[in-house]
Structure 1
Amino acid sequence: MSKGKVLVVGSNATRIEIQGGGTGPTGQYLNETVVPAMALVDAGYEVVLATPDGSKPHIDPVSDVAQHFDGDEAALQRGRAFFKENPGMKNARTLRSVIEEGLDGYAAVFVPGGQAPAVDLMQDADLGEILRHFHVRGKPTAFLCHGPIASLAALPQAREYRAALISGDEKKASQLGKDWQYAGYKMTVFSASEEKPIEDNILHGKLYFNMPDALHTAGGNVSTGAIDFAPNVVVDRELITGQNPRSDHPLGAKLVEALNRANVSA
């Protein structure tokens, strides 16, 4: 019997804007999606994947390698199989359908990374509604790598906030970022220095904003680890954030811990 359902929110983005015009390839990271989800299933929870348009996320090819599974080819194959075959992963739903069915049926929400959430999820009104629901009820809310940028969807004018970041209008962004529900929360996210090799070698261009600054402008108490790509997870109240791909296992463990505590106290 399942201990409860966890909503896994995926992105549908495949391209991301770069400075000077044009776009670069993007997607969702395989390990960041499946490693925490597999930890949840192993702990007795059920996962339900939902995206803005109801189709499965595009997995960024750069993540579909054994390197992101601690160099373990067998672990990579297990991750691929889980994403393809797990009932909750195989049959993606729309965020709107999850809302209409009722969010009270979910014990937690989890948003993995890859740069894709910085395109659609951070300005998605349905995700904003979901995040406000979980925040008011203090239910575990986890974000990994670029995933924390999706927490900005909870802003009343999230779309306008993102546009202000892209235009470089920091004053307007600060105004639009007022009253964010996570203002003052301790959190982490993919750092600007970790982003640089992706900008240089994959995007061949710079993003319009970096993730820590985007969260800080809205009031987030953002910190990143001293060593790039070293695991780093920050927990503050219901919010659980992991900095980078290597934070997949520790974030999954912290989310399971939070859910188990909630079950004990229920």
Structure 2
Amino acid sequence: MVLTSHEALLNTDSTTGLWIGEFTDPYYEFIDSNYTVVVASPKGGHPPIDPMSQLTKNITGSNRRFQDDDFAKHALKHTLLLEDMEASDFDAVFYPGGHGPMFDLATDENSGRLIVELLSQNKPVAAVCHGPAALLKAGQLEPSLLRGKKVTGFSNAEEKLALRASTIPYTLEDKLKEMGAEYHKAVVPFMSHVETDGLLITGQNPLSAGPTAKALIALLEKH
């Protein structure tokens, strides 16, 4: 799992980072299916957590499970350096969201290389909410990666409803379209929606985190 290391937003003192439920929901889907999870980030160490994701209204069952899981808390607090990760060592990669990935993972060379190499090795790549921002760098390195692919991610409508539209450098939905992707979304904002196109799996929003992980597991089991 590759997490953001970025916490600053534009035009505000509020901070962002990892949306914690988009880490914990998939993490336990993988653990409960007997996968070993390695957690990495561009800067290593403890990634910033979006304070909004820790509000009571946004807490999920997996968040509560995480609070009693010393092993998982240690993994999150001590993420490995992304630059040390090699595609050949893993079966798949998963990118959780939070607005952070729009700033660092969207332009991170190591992240882009990892995605391109995994796909070239016939291994799946999954991302949820703002996590698909990592596909932007991969799409620059390999222009055919997104062209004509069915994808989803945090929508323009959701961005407006989340009141963060003025604090980000671009909207993910528009960027994915600019890269040639065929963007899809749920009829109603913030409802779960997952797109699978070959080895590429994307989820739209926080509610899609668990289902995106399940889709990745299904693809891994199929392979």
The normalised TM-score by structure 1 is: 0.77
| 1:108 is aligned to 2:101 | no
1:138 to 98, 111, 122: 122
Gap runs ≥5 in structure 1: 1-7, 158-177
The C-alpha deviation readout for 1:171-216, integer Å capped at 9, x for no partner, is xxxxxxx8241211100010111111333xxx58353321110010
**Amino acid in the other structure paired with 1:36:** P
Partners of 1:23 and 1:205 in 2: how far apart?
A: 12
Count of aligned residue pairs for this structure pair: 222
1:71-128 per-residue CA deviation (whole Å, 9 max, x = no partner) reads: x5xx43213344x5326444311111113xxx21200000000110001000000001
Superposed, 1:25-40 pairs within 5 Å as 25-40=15-30
Counterpart residue type for residue 9 of structure 1: V
Structure 1 residue 24 displacement after superposition: 4.4
**1:85 aligned partner:** 71
What is the CA RMSD across the aligned residues, in angstroms? 2.0
Does the alignment pair 1:249 with 2:206? no
Within the candidate set 43, 48, 61, 1:53 is matched to: 43
| Mapped contact 1:31–1:63 kept (Cα < 8 A) | yes
Residue identity in the other structure for 2:15? P
The offset of 1:218, in angstroms, is 0.7
For 1:15, which of 8, 21, 39 is the aligned residue?
A: 8
Residues 53, 59 of structure 2: 8 Å contact kept: no
1:64 positional shift: 1.4
Q: Which has the higher helix share?
A: 1
2:34 aligned with 1:44? yes
Aligned to 1:174: none
2:39 aligned counterpart, secondary structure: strand
User: Identity across aligned pairs (percent)?
Assistant: 30
Quote the Cα distance in structure 2 between the aligned partners of 1:156 and 1:246. 29
In terms of Rg, which structure is larger? 1
TM-score scaled by length of structure 2: 0.91
Which blocks of at least 5 consecutive residues in structure 2 are unaligned?
none
Q: Displacement of 1:138 after TM fit?
A: 2.2
Question: What SS class does the counterpart of residue 92 from structure 2 fall into?
Answer: strand
Amino acid at match of 1:191: S
Structure 2 counterparts to residues 150-165 of structure 1, below 5 A: 150-156=134-140
Distance 1:114 1:237 in 2: 25
Q: 1:90 to 1:24 in 2, by over 3 A?
A: closer
Superposition pairs of residues 144-183 of structure 1, within 5 angstroms = 144-156=128-140, 179-183=143-147
**Structure 1 residue 190 corresponds to structure 2 residue 154:** yes
| Equivalent residue for 1:218, pick from 163, 179, 198 | 179
Residue 142 of structure 1: SS of its match in structure 2? Answer: strand
Distance across 2 between alignment mates of 1:206 and 1:90: 26
Residue 67 of structure 1 deviates from its aligned partner by 2.8
Deviation at 1:23, TM superposition (A): 6.4
User: What letter corresponds to residue 49 of structure 2 in structure 1?
Assistant: I
> In the alignment, which residue of structure 2 is the partner of 1:62?
52
Bigger fraction of residues in strand: 1
Amino acid at match of 1:190: F
**Matches of 1:156 and 1:149, distance apart in 2:** 12
